[in-house]
Structure 1
Amino acid sequence: MTTKQLELPVHGRTITGLTTTGDAPGSPLVVALHGGGYNSGYFHVAGHSLLDLAETAGFRVFSLDRPGYGGSDTLPDDEATFGASAGLLDAAVGALWTEHGAGRPGVVLLSHSIGSAIAVHIAARRPRWPLLGISLHGVGDQSPEHVVNAWHAMPTSGPVELPSEQRRALLYGPESTVDADAVEAAKASVEPVSIGEMLEIVEGWPANLAKLAAEVAVPVQYTLAEHDGLWNVSESRVAAFAGYFTAAPWVETRLQPSAGHNLDHHRLSLALHLRQLAFVSECATRAS
């Protein structure tokens, strides 16, 4: 399939990313937000590409580089928060909507890990462009103590690149759930991660989640993988997370067996992506 590089000027800064060329008439725009330590190519790993599948299904996807990743400008240290990133990405999606939104019902956000936390921030802002729904995965409300301690043990300044062994242990499930060539191919989208992001996701995010989620007034799809190494995983945690979205018209949840944190690269990635695109279609149809 064909992808194109994207560059958006937003509030004096630049947001970059990838976009597909598929474009069925009347389909919603889909915007994908990656997690920490990866750029927009996270959603375009060979054999596991959300962008390829979406293009085949006729959806236009914009996989954006969050601030500080890919070619997107880095926010100053005193502005490098999920809330500030959400504000800049809100404006970027607004620009995409102005250019590509004619004749469409709206926008659906698909997101992973820290990208999902930022998607909730965006939805809580009640953006001016028509947000139809948010699909979240790879995020939770409680991290294991050893993960919190690991982030606190990292250098306090500058970006950090996780050792490959630690990345494999935390982000991918057992060998039976993922192919080695997919893990290797995903390394092309790996980038250093800000320690500030890692600390916010285990501290500020859980503290603010309930207040943010209560402001989300669109449908929510939520998936947590059985072998996610960054979050406490159980049916009760999935139910608790869903329960924060008290203003959402409906919330769809799944505890996904046989997969790890980077679910998009596992053997079950196709199942995830098909469910995500089904959610996109349902949000668009209900909105119409």
Structure 2
Amino acid sequence: MTTTRVDLPVDGRRIAGATSGAGTTGAPLVVALHGGGYNSGYFDVPGHSLLDLGAATGFPVVSLDRPGYGGSDPLPGGRATFGHGAEALDAAIGELWTHYGEGRPGVVLVAHSIGSAIAVHIAARRPRWPLLGISIHGVGDRSPEHIVGAWRAMPTDEPVELPPEQRRALLYGPAGTVDADVVELAKASVETVPLGEMLEIVGDWPRNVAKLAAAVVVPVQYTLAEYDGLWIVDESRVATFAGHFTSAPWVDARLQAGAGHNLDHHRLSRALHLRQLAFASECAARVPAARDQTVDSAKIT
């Protein structure tokens, strides 16, 4: 399906991305944030495209390039952190809302991996535009020691590029969970990873996630894959991570069997994306109900 490029001015810099169309009137605006080592094309891999599914089901989906990826300008030196990335994307989504928000109930963030960490940062900021909920996957709060050690042993003076065989081993599940050509199909969206992102996701992020998550006041959908090679995966880790969102009105947490870290490229990607869009629809449907309850409470008092 044809996509349209998006360019947003943010404090003299550009945040770019792609959209599959305006969607149905009244549907929430879905904004997707990719992880490390991929650009916005992560959500538009042939046969696994969230943008295509959004267009087919009436949801306007915009996949953004995070700062320093794709067509988005990098953050200035010393500011390439999750917090500053969230600040830039908060402003960019505000611009998106100005242009695409008319007649819509609000925005739902769908995010993967490092993008999920940044989505939590954005939600914790409580943005001025109407955030309805966040659907995050491919992120946890404890990485295996060999992953932490590997990232910390990387050369500090250059970005990291994972070779295809390492990308296949770390980011995808067993052969039965993916099509044989998926790594090649996703290659067009692959980029190098700033080492700072890899160090922050195994350093500051695990230390700060509980405090950040406790500041999130919108619904949360959380998914961690059975074969995720970057996180410690079991039911207790899923429950612990979900439990950080103490202020969210509700949390839907799930350990997803039959997939690896890049859930969006596995054979069950359509099921994942349909669940995410259903979550977006539920978040939007609850807005009038919450508003009505507020009005009724005002009448009682």
The answer to which of 275-284 and 176-185 deviates more is 176-185
The residue type paired with residue 233 of structure 1 is V
SS across alignment from 2:78: helix
Q: Deviations over 1:239-273 (max 9, x none)?
A: 00000000000000110001000000000101100
TM-score, normalized by length of structure 1?
Answer: 0.99
> Structure 2 CA distance, aligned partners of 1:267 and 1:208?
33
One-letter code of the match for 1:17?
G
Aligned residues: 288
Residue of structure 2 in register with 1:240 after alignment: 240
Aligned 8 A contact 1:4 1:20 in 2: yes
Equivalent pair of 1:6/1:18 in contact (CA under 8 Å): yes
Provide the rounded CA distance (Å) in 2 between the counterparts of 1:165 and 1:181: 13
Within 5 A, what are the aligned runs for 1:51-66? 51-66=51-66
> 1:16·1:72 contact (CA, 8 Å) conserved in 2?
yes
Shift of 1:163: 1.5
**Paired position in structure 2 for 1:161:** 161
Task: Name the CA distance, whole Å, in 2 between partners of 1:93 and 1:63.
Answer: 11
Aligned residues of 2:164 and 2:183 also touching (Cα < 8 A): no
* Separation (CA, whole Å) in 2 of partners of 1:58 and 1:98: 20
Distance 2:275 2:28 in 1: 16
Query: What percent identity do the matched residue pairs reach?
Result: 74
Q: Could you tell me how far apart the structure 2 residues matched to 1:94 and 1:158 are?
A: 32
Instruction: Give 1:181 deviation, angstroms.
Output: 1.4
Task: Name the amino acid aligned to 2:138.
Answer: G
Mark the structure with the bigger radius of gyration: 2
What's the counterpart of residue 2 of structure 1? 2
Which residue of structure 2 aligns with residue 256 of structure 1? 256
For 1:188-211, what per-residue CA distance to the aligned partner results, in whole angstroms no more than 9, with x for missing partners? Answer: 100000000000000110000000
Distance in 1 of aligned mates of 2:225 and 2:77: 32
Q: Deviations over 1:89-111 (max 9, x none)?
A: 00000001111111110000000
Cα distance between partner residues in 1 of 2:234 and 2:67: 32
Contact 1:22–1:54, Cα closer than 8 Å, also in 2:
no
2:118 equivalent in structure 1 = 118
**Structure 1 Cα separation of the partners of residues 146 and 245 of structure 2:** 28
Q: Could you tell me how far apart the structure 1 residues matched to 2:59 and 2:258 are? A: 28
Structure 1: any 5+ residue segments left out of the alignment?
Answer: none
Aligned equivalents of 1:90, 1:74: Cα separation in 2: 15
Aligned partner of 2:205 in structure 1 is 205
Q: Quote the Cα distance in structure 1 between the aligned partners of 2:77 and 2:164.
A: 27
* Amino acid paired to 1:52: D
* 1:22–1:56 CA contact under 8 A, matched in 2: no
Q: 1:226, 1:255 within 8 Å by CA — same for their partners in 2?
A: yes
Q: 1:23 Cα shift?
A: 1.4
TM-score (norm 2): 0.95
| 2:189 aligned with 1:189 | yes
Q: What SS does the aligned partner of 1:26 have? A: coil
Distance (Å, rounded) in 2 between the aligned partners of 1:163 and 1:119: 27
CA distance in 1, matches of 2:14, 2:162: 26
Distance of 2:179 and 2:238 partners within structure 1: 26
Matched, 1:215 2:215: yes
User: Which residue identity is paired with 2:5?
Assistant: Q
Q: Offset at 1:22?
A: 4.2
Name the SS for the 1:283 alignment partner.
helix
> What CA distance in whole angstroms lies between the structure 2 residues aligned with 1:104 and 1:275?
20
Code of the aligned partner of 1:59: F
Q: Distance in 1 between matches of 2:76 and 2:165?
A: 31
> Aligned AA for 2:148?
V
SS in structure 1 of the partner of residue 104 of structure 2: coil
Give the gaps of 5 or more residues in structure 2.
Answer: 289-301
Q: Distance in 2 between matches of 1:157 and 1:71?
A: 23
Contact 2:33-2:63 within 8 A present in 1 as well: yes
Q: How far did residue 151 of structure 1 move? A: 0.4
RMSD: 0.7
| Structure 2: distance between partners of 1:157 and 1:258 | 37
Shift of 1:158: 2.4
Structure 1 residues 72 and 116 mapped into 2: Cα distance closer, same or farther (>3 Å)?
Answer: same
